Each structure stands twice: as C-alpha cells, then as structure tokens.
Structure 1
Amino acid sequence: MGPGALEVADIFRTHGPAFRAAQRSHLSLGQLKAMSAIEQCRTAALGGHVLRCPDCQQDQVSYNSCRNRHCPKCQANAAKRWLEARQADLLPVDYYHVVFTLPAPISDIAYYNKAVVYGLLFEIAAETLITIAADPKHLGAQVGVTLVLHTWGSALTHHPHVHGIVPGGGISLDGKRWVSCKPGFFLSVRVLSRLFRRRFLESLEEAHHDGKLQFFGDHAGLADPKAFAKWLAPLRQCEWVVYAKRPFAGPEAVLAYLSRYTHRVAIANSRLLTMDERGVTFRWKDYRDKGEPDRPRHKTMTLSADEFMRRFLLHVLPGGFHRIRHFGLIANHGRTEKLARARELLGVAPAVITEASEVGTETEVDGVRPTFVCAHCGAAMLVLETLVRGHAIRAPPPKRVSL
C-alpha cells in the first residue's frame, strides 16, 4: 500500500478483528465503539446518497461519515464549523499560546483515571492563568482562556497536556478599562508553573482522599494513603513544564492555529506511510532532537499493527468528556456580555461572521437534509437516491457465558 493511500481505518479493518479477540478483556466500550466507527466511516455500512451534478453531469456516491471525534476523516468539517462559531470571540489584540504538561508519573496513573485527571488538568490550568493574571503584581485583569486537551506525543505515546489560547490582556478588576500585557510577554512561566504544580497536587490529594482514583498493576499500592503521599513527595520538587510561545501574528493566525489543534486526533492519515508484514510505518517528530543536519527531527517509526492500534486507542476519551473548554471572559456563562464589554473598552465594533462554502463536501444543520456541492464545478448536486445504513455504529456485543 503506497504512501498517501493508507488510513487508520485500513489498519483497523485488516487487523482489528484479531486485536479485539486478543484484547477482549482489556478494551473499554468507548474504544470498541471508536474502532467500529472508524472502520465503517464513509462506507456502505453507514448509508449515503447517489448524487448528480446538473451542470457538469458528474455522478458520484457519497457515503455518510461516522462523526466519531476520534476518527481522522471526520474532524476537518467539525473543526470548520467550530471555528466559524468562534470567530465572534476574537478580539483585536495579541494572543498567546500557553501549554501545561503533566509529569510522567501522573501521566501513568491518568490512563486509568482519565475523567478525574484530565478534568483536573483543565480546571487547574485555567485557575492558574486566571489567578496569576488577576494579581496586580502581574497583569491585574480578568482574562479569557480557551484550553484544548491533547493526550498524545508524536509517537502516539500517552502524554497529556493542554494547549491554551489567551488574549494578551483583559478587563481591569474594576471593569473600567482594558489592561494590556507587556509587548511580547504575557505572564511569567516560572510563576505559572509553581502555582500549577501546587494546586494540581493539592487537588489530586483531595481526589485520592475522596476515593475518586483507581490504581492497578505496579501502581496498586498507591491506594494506601501513606504510599500515595510518599509517591507524591518527589513531584513537589521536580520542574513542571509550562511554557508560553511568542504572540500570534493577528487573529487570522489564531484561527489557523486553532484549525490545526482543536479537532486533531492522535494521528492523521497523512502521517501514515505503509502497512506490510513488518507492521505500520508512520512519520513522527522527535521534539528532543534539535534538528541537526545528521539527526533530523522528522523521522519514521514502524510498529506492529497490534502496538499501533494499542497506542491509538490509548487516546480515546471517556464518553461525554469535553476536550475543548472556555474559561474566564469567554466562559459559556456570560460570554456575550463580557466580550461586548471588552470590545467597548477597546473601542472596536462587534465581529461580523461570514460562513465560507464547502466545496466537494456535505454540510448539515441539526436535522436538515445535507447539501452536497460538486467538487468539479461547485454547483449544488441533486440527490438521486438515498442509501439506507446497514446498522448503527456500536461496539460488538459481549460474548455470552454459559452458566
């Protein structure tokens, strides 16, 4: 299978049945459902439409998408719709990119406690940014924060971190003026790191005390409070990685960045190279390598099909868990009023939102029949026939055990 042709769906269709059988007791319902959805995405199993362009007379069959948030093929349109809704939130100021990363020991226990640990990662990162920004010694303002959860490294390893997009300023604490940060500098990452570390460990201890954490295998002993306290001690002394990048070059750059990050999955189909008897080969980026001529940062890696699928499924999120969240000025509650006040203080008019058309794709609005656009000439295509889906996406039924 040549470069550019391989998809995650091909790997699951070829090797998924044997992998399910071998890992039956280790795969969650969410992981099984993600596998089934990706395998069936844009195939006859989900139904679709037979289409004809009235202008260029091109016929095509368009199969339905699975719309699973872990599917590499379903995220482009989802990201586009989300970005159109977010344009109204952008302010004409510099924006900064901040990243909060969990230490490896906490990442290890996070896999079995995704909802709790990932939830704390969101809450404490946002709390840290809002608290330090409100401190008059730093900025003295109310800021807005958008956080996006990523749980992977480039090699598909488990690496939970959140990317934050923050405007370079905020509304003064008395609400009477806009406070801008220093040019090219948002907040001290050292101060952010210290507060993030302290508050996260306090909250993790509280979660342990309340019985919200589970431990298995080598970590089973951490269920004991004394063992857990001893395990936490070194984490109070090590450095926690928090960093801020230079400001984006205008709101357009913010949107371009968000379009790459908000709906990204563990690996894009474009990074897959081959699937053969050796396994699955894909491109990855070694961030620890400085990119010297004899040691390029962009490399290739080959994993067995089972190991590739195992790593991919590490990043399936718990059902109902939101991986994009807004805090402060752009929190869902009161967002419209707070952003209107920010624009008033900045002396700018409300943003005007225009929706771009999607060529060669389908668009759909809550229950309304999708509109298909011809990829050749851009005309609206006629639906000649609707293909009924074979069955709903779901995980395979559990094997019955005879009593």
Structure 2
Amino acid sequence: MTIAAITWSEDEDFVLEEVQLDEPRADELRVRMIAVGVCHTDLSVAHGVTPFPLPGVLGHEGAGIVEAIGPNVRRASVGDRVLLSFTSCGTCRNCEGGHPGLCVQHLSLNLLGGTRADGSATMSASGRPVNAHFFGQSSFAHTAIVDERSVVRLDPETTDEDMIVLAPLGCGLQTGAGAVLNVLRPRAGSTLLVLGAGAVGMAAVMAGAMTAASRIIVVDRVAARLQLALELGATDVIDATNTALTDALAALIGDVGVDYAVESTGNVGVLEDAITALAVGGVCAVIGAPRAGSRASFDVPRLLPGRSIIGITLGDSEPQSFVPFLIDAWRHGRFPIDRLERRYPFEDINLAAADAASGATIKPVLTF
C-alpha cells in the first residue's frame, strides 16, 4: 500500500488516498519517491487539455530510491538512487537509433493508455483499477511501479538534497534544454528567440547560454521571469503584455529575423508569431503543447527560402546520456535549475499546482 494523489475527474483537486501497487513485473522496479516535479503536462491532463484516462495518478518527474526490481532489470539495483523520465518501446527504429523520445509508441506508452502495454494495471484503489503508468511511472505517490526504460541511475554519492533539485530533469527541463542542444544546435553568432519563460523556456535559455549563439531573446508577460531570464543567460527580453512581437524584434535586430525560435507556450498565436519572426534559413522548434486538434496558419511561400518548422518531443534526448550531461552542467554552475524551483510538501500538491498555473512558481517540486 502507498499514498497517491488521484485525479478523479477534470478540473478537480488532487485527492490523497491509499492505493495498492501491483508487484513489479520482470522489467519493472518499485521506487520510493524522494521528490517529484510538477510539470505543465500534469496540469494539462488534470484540466482535460492533454488526453489521459481519468481517474488516474499523474506525475512524471520523479526521483527516488529503488526498493525492488524485476528479474530482467539491468539499469538499476535495489538501493540505487534514480531519476525517472519517460518510457519507450526500445525496439522501434527510432529507439534503436538513439531517439527514444521519438518512439513510435510514445503516446500509447506514456499518455493514452493508463496501463501497461498489455492492458494490466499497476495500481488500484478500493479494489478497483486506477489509471496509472503515466510516462511509465505515475510518481505523484510515495511509491511507484516504474518501467526500467524510465529509469536513469544516479551516482551513489547523490544526496537526498541533490535529488530534490534534480527531479524535474525527467521531463520539462530536458525538453527545453534538449530542443536547443540536441536539435537546434545554434551556430556561432546566431540569434535564439525563446517564447515563454516558464520552466521549459528557461531551460532553453540556460542551454542557449552554453552555445555559441550571440543573442538570446526571451519573450514573456511576467516581469520577474524576464529579469530572471536575463540573469540566466538572456541578452534581451521582451515584455509582450502591451507590445507586438514583430515591432519589438524590429527594434532589437531590425528586419533580418531570428535564426532559431523555441515556442514553449502552447499558444497557437504565439507560434504563428515565432514562424513569422524567422530569418531566411531559420528554424522554429515547436515544444509547447496546445489542446489536441489545434491549428496554426502561416505564409507558405515564406518557408521556401529555407525557413522550417520542427516539432520536438522531450528534447529528442536519450535520458541515459543527456540527463547525466545536464547534472554535470548543474554541478558546474552552467545549468542552475535550482533558481527555478520552489519546494512543497507532497500534501500541498494542490497549492503547488495552483502556483504553477498562476505563474507564482516556475517549477514546483514536491517532497516526501
């Protein structure tokens, strides 16, 4: 038995209840949670924007200690400290090619099903199955059943304090950083535009500061976030509250346009502005997720001189290598994710969710 935060239906508070966990299967682990980040995707599911069957248990940025493993598990042992990320099939051409974020079964394994791939449940409440297995973990719980492919083993010297800081690397932070470092890879002297200064956007800013880009322009409507963006590596900021992006960019860089844009807000209008802002040969990375079925429009002939739009899931990262890279960058002061975070006891999950939704907190982290 364990305590989990159940989302019973859309737009309702999380409810902490006792649940029963299934035993780990051959390729699964049981992990006692130390911390878990609250991600925009969790809130999107809770509000019916992102599809996942309810009632269910969310949470997909967990960090914890392995309590038990199935007989086929090789990535971690009992007692190991681990971060939890997304899961993948491991056998499709994208997984085998080192791109598990592009797994052809990504949606069914991480979001749509609420069960293992074979349809079995990992969790029940009052004798009834509860949708879980969210991103192969459902870590809004004191203990979780986790897919082996969701696990990143940490250095044994990693402390509980470290794990609280590092927990959000599992999704949002590697998404923003990976979009810049794994996909866009800004060239020397280039301009990077980041739209949205939430956790994902800020991760893109910090990653951009590791590259040879000469300008990093951040757009948001919250003055405090824009100030923090400047402290984390932005060279310029635009408060979009009462300013048209096109006019503000023209004042900063003329009409040449930006070489790279990262759209992290999930706002279709903002995406259209990002595409319009591209220089010849520029690339717009789409990582913000609006409601399913959303459509954007753009001037097709403007794309012909080499402008392009690319969708990116989870930073197109391989967590086994990219998460340790980000941890090393954090330890050396180049990826100060702690500046984004605020901690909440797990019992205050609804306050954490409200603060994330209002913008009062960039990245809430729940502690156990």
Same fold (TM over 0.5): no
TM-score between the two structures when normalised by the length of structure 2: 0.26
TM-score between the two structures when normalised by the length of structure 1: 0.25
Return the structure number with greater relative CO, CA threshold 8 A, min gap 6: 1
Q: Between Structure 1 and Structure 2, which shows a larger proportion of strand residues? A: 2
